[in-house]
Amino acid sequence: KVYDIDGLNVTMPHKETIMPYLSGLDVSAEKAGAVNTISKDLVGFNTDTAGVEAMFSGVSLQGKSVLILGAGGAARAAAVYLKEAGAEISILNRTYEKAEVLAKFCGGKAVSSADEKYDAVILASPVSPLPPEKILRKGMFAADMNYLHSDFLDSAERLGCRTVSGKTMLIAQAARSFQIWMKSAADSSAMNDAFGDDS
């Protein structure tokens, strides 16, 4: 059956593997090396970077040390934004070799522990590669790209971190996807109301 659709979203683990099957890539997808939004004419976009930007709104990143947890498509989008914002990036992933690949991609460094004192951390994986208590420190900025409430954010709040949940990212990237598909701005307030409480 053939469906008449205006576009679709792609989620992990297909954000990178979908790319060879598309008719083209927007600059956002080329920069991120991953696709999460596809237009009707099968052009790939990455709106996750818009979501990451929303998460770090009001946070100065120039010269700040940021730890990315994960090395998949979402982590690549985070790395693109953080690099352009002037952050010093470290990557911690369960598979060190994948962390090295992402570190090379963004000019950061792969690490196997969270012993350094980071200014911010972003969880870009369904599960943290280390227990939150081994990563988080009081006063740091902690962002979780997962839009459902998580133990990671619970731990961050308990340890005195400034936090932002993946709800912020989800709405911002969805609004950008809507704009690509419908050629008009989305009502982010309505999206926020529809999402409801993320606690």
Q: Which two tokens stand for residue 78?
A: 């985070």
Q: Is 31 considered catalytic here? A: no
98: three-class secondary structure by DSSP = helix
Catalytic residue among 1, 15, 31, 64: 15
3-state helix, strand, coil in the chain (%, to 5): 40, 20, 45
Cβ-based neighbours of 67, under 8 Å, separated by 6 or more: 90, 91, 92, 111, 114, 116, 118, 120, 121, 122, 135
123 vs 25: CA distance, rounded Å = 26
- The alpha-carbon radius of gyration of the chain (Å, integer) is 17
84 vs 88: CA distance, rounded Å = 10
Residues known to be catalytic: 15
